[in-house]
Amino acid sequence: MAPLEPWEKVFVSEDFLTSTHGRQSCISCHGGVQSPEKDEAHTNLIADPTANPEQQCGTCHQEVVASANDNLHSNLQGYWTVLNARSEPASVPALEEMFGNHCASCHTTCGDCHISQPGSVGGGLLDGHNFEKTPPMTRTCTACHGSRVGSEYLGKHEDIPGDVHFRTGRMSCVSCHAGMDLHATADEAMMDRYAGEEMPSCTSCHETVGASGDPIVQHTIHQDKLACQVCHSVTYTNCDGCHVAISETTGNPFFKTDATYMGFFIGLNPEITEERPYQYVTLRHAPIAEDSFSYYGDNLLTNFNALPTWKYATPHNIQRKTPQNESCQSCHNNPDLFLTADKVAPEELEANQPVIVNQLPQQIP
Amino acid sequence: MKKKTIWFGLGLLVLLLAGCSQAPTAASTSVQPQEPTPTAAPTATAVAVVNYCVECHTDKDQLIQTAKPEVEVESESEGVG
């Protein structure tokens, strides 16, 4: 949607004033003082009181707030999981500075979903300060998760249909990602969202897939070998080499990515677990390079090869019929679909050994 | 017989007169002193408490006038974030 005008961002609707939240005094949440003078009224103003959820939201919503600090949306722990894995402790101060300038703005407060648009799309109240129990998808979820998941799900890439769940079911993000999953992060996933149980899982709805009596024999044959996306997603966005710096002219942080391209890559599951037993998964190139943060210091990612740059991914463009599930032959022994060594940049070969497919699945006679 | 008639007539007359004399007086029309109309309890003059936050933030025109114009800084970022 078009960016909001400055006045629209702070315009409070009359109906908010009679709502449960609107009956609170403005100052009790936002600070400031009662004054007809704007500058004086805004003294010590707290623009987003929900940045302190325990104090503001927790008064009534204790259960939700209790998990806020463990929530990946709030603590962005996923970033630090990979930064720590790829670096050494000595690099952490420089990486923290980088993180503060370039990554921390992705931190999400309660208000960023339920009251206003996130800052990355210019902010502003969603609906005259009314609280939205279910955040509007395109103004909150895909406003942040837009360049990959949002564009794929909504079908914004030319000639690539949107996700079947959106096209035919008009399902929004919360149809699968329930509020309780978004408010809290399961213990196993606190360091990595792909760890532990799949939440959500395709089989939560598609219960008969792979079960006895499933009329689609391919489900039974492949169910523990392939992640669902291997057969049911299509080409998706990949990015290479994001580099960050501070502008010499404006002082603002900025980034540049070396390349963005569409592609579909089946690779090996780098971490086979009981919950994710798949041998093959879809892989997306993360926009990381060994010198991504060189503006903040040399050799900050000394353990760059500790993690693959081709990352286990769950593209959000699910289709019932895809080029690779047309027939056995369309996938088996088809080098175009698999992440083979020749598709990996030479400087990233070592990092990606756990996911590179060296031997294609055999041709079905 | 004639005497009886006279006595009966006299008796009837007495009864009528007596009835008239004891007839209930017309409904009292005397005006009872009315209860003084309670006058409104003296109250402090209502002081309108102005919520300046609400007054301004629900007034589109005022917000348009006072909103700080946003300076659009051209981003130097390139590529997909």
Interchain CB distance below 8 Å, B67 and A7: yes
Q: For the residues of A190-217, what is the DSSP string, one character each?
A: SS-TTSSS-SS-GGGT-TTTTSTT-S-H
Check if A147 contacts B (Cβ < 8 Å): yes
A328 contact partners, CB below 8 Å, separation of at least 6: A364
Q: Looking at the 3D structure of chain A, how many domains does it have?
A: 1
Check if B80 contacts A (Cβ < 8 Å): yes
Amino acid at A159: D
Q: Work out the pLDDT band at B49, boundaries 50, 70, 90.
A: confident
Interchain CB distance below 8 Å, A13 and B58: yes
Instruction: Kindly report, residue by residue over A281-324, the tens digit of the pLDDT.
Output: 999 999 999 999 999 999 999 999 999 999 999 999 999 999 99
Tell me the C-alpha to C-alpha distance, in Å, between residue A255 and each of A83, A102, A300, A325, B21.
17, 8, 17, 38, 116
Interface test with A, best of B49, B50, B53 (most A CBs within 10 A): B53
Instruction: Kindly report, residue by residue over A155-183, the tens digit of the pLDDT.
Output: 999 999 999 999 999 999 999 999 888 89
- Domain for residue A158, yes or no? yes
- Domain for residue A52, yes or no? yes
Which one, of A244, A285, A281, lies nearest residue A262 by Cα?
A285
Q: What's the angle, vertex CA A178, arms to CA A143 and CA A186, rounded to 5?
A: 100
pTM of the shown model: 0.84
- Domain for residue A257, yes or no? yes
Radius of gyration of chain A (CA): 23
Cβ-based contacts of A36 with chain B (< 8 Å):
50, 52, 55
Q: Work out the pLDDT band at A214, boundaries 50, 70, 90.
A: very high
Cα distance between residue A85 and residue A305, in whole Å: 9
- Domain for residue A40, yes or no? no
- Domain for residue A181, yes or no? yes
Q: What is the ipTM of this complex?
A: 0.85
- Domain for residue A297, yes or no? yes
Half-sphere exposure of A122 (CA within 13 A, CB side): 16
Interchain CB distance below 8 Å, B63 and A237: no
Interchain CB distance below 8 Å, B63 and A255: no
Residue A294 structural domain: 48-107+145-348
Q: Which residue has the higher pLDDT, A341 or B5?
A: A341
Interchain CB distance below 8 Å, A35 and B60: no
- Decide: A301 and A86 in contact? Cβ < 8 Å: yes
The answer to whether residue B47 scores a pLDDT higher than 90 is: no
- Domain for residue A27, yes or no? no
Helix (H, G, I), strand (E, B) or coil at A267: strand
Interchain CB distance below 8 Å, A13 and B80: no
Instruction: Kindly report, residue by residue over A75-88, the tens digit of the pLDDT.
Output: 999 999 999 999 99
- Domain for residue A5, yes or no? no
